[in-house]
C-alpha cells in the first residue's frame, strides 16, 4: 500500500514506459540481418486433367460383344450399346460419359464415348464394343493411344 488517507487507498504513481536498451551484441545482429524481400514468384502450373490441349496416353484395347457371358446390351451408364460409339473404361481414369479419341497402330483415329465399365477394365485399358464375337476375335488385343477430348463429370 503506497498511501492511505482516511481509509482511501492511493494507487502508486504511473511509471514511464520502459524503453528497451540495445547492447552492442544486439546492434551487430541488427546490422547484419537482411529482411526478406517479397517478390512475386510465378507459380509453375501443374498439368491438370482440364488442360487445353489433351495429351495422348498409351492404353491396351480389347473388344467385347453382348454375346459373351455376362454381357448385355445396356451399358453401366444406362444407355444401349452402339458399335462404333461405346467403349468400356475405368471410371476412375475416364469418367463415364466422357468423349475420347483413339488412335490405332495403323494411324487411323476414331471417337468413342466411355459409356460402360467392366471388371477387367482397370487403369489404362479400354474395351471397345462390337456386335459379333468374330469381330472381337479379329480385333484381339492392341496397344492404342487415347486422349480425352471432353470430361463428363455427371
pLDDT digits (tens, 9 = 90+) for 95-108: 999 999 999 999 99
On the question of pLDDT at 43 being above 90, the answer is no
**Domain 57-150 annotated CATH 3.40.50.10800:** no
On the question of pLDDT at 48 being above 50, the answer is no
User: Which pLDDT score is estimated for 72?
Assistant: 83
Mean pLDDT across 118-143 = 94
Count the Cβ atoms, other than its own, within 10 Å of residue 54: 16
Alpha-carbon distances of 131 from 51, 83, 97, 137, rounded to whole Å: 35, 7, 20, 12
Mean pLDDT across 79-108 = 95
Confidence of residue 42 (pLDDT cuts 50, 70, 90): low
* CA–CA separation, 149 and 35 (whole Å): 49
User: Which pLDDT score is estimated for 129?
Assistant: 95
Confidence of residue 1 (pLDDT cuts 50, 70, 90): low
User: Which pLDDT score is estimated for 53?
Assistant: 77
Percent of the chain with pLDDT over 70: 68
On the question of pLDDT at 30 being above 60, the answer is no
Asked whether 89 and 116 are in contact (CB, 8 A), the reply is: yes
Q: Show me where the domains of the chain are located.
A: 57-150
User: Which pLDDT score is estimated for 71?
Assistant: 81
User: Which pLDDT score is estimated for 128?
Assistant: 96
On the question of pLDDT at 5 being above 80, the answer is no
Amino acid at each position: 500500500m503506497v498511501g492511505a488517507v482516511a481509509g482511501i487507498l492511493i494507487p502508486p504513481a504511473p511509471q514511464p514506459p520502459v524503453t528497451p536498451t540495445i547492447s552492442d551484441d544486439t546492434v551487430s545482429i541488427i546490422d547484419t540481418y537482411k529482411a526478406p524481400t517479397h517478390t512475386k514468384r510465378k507459380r509453375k502450373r501443374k498439368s491438370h486433367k482440364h488442360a487445353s490441349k489433351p495429351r495422348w496416353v498409351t492404353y491396351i484395347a480389347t473388344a467385347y460383344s453382348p454375346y459373351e457371358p455376362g454381357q448385355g446390351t445396356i451399358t453401366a451408364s444406362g444407355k444401349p450399346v452402339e458399335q462404333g460409339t461405346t467403349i468400356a473404361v475405368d471410371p476412375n481414369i475416364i469418367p463415364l460419359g466422357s468423349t475420347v479419341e483413339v488412335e490405332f497402330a495403323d494411324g487411323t483415329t476414331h471417337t468413342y464415348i466411355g459409356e460402360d465399365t467392366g471388371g477387367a477394365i482397370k487403369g489404362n485399358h479400354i474395351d471397345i464394343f462390337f456386335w459379333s464375337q468374330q469381330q472381337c476375335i479379329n480385333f484381339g488385343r492392341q496397344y492404342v493411344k487415347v486422349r480425352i477430348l471432353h470430361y463428363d463429370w455427371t
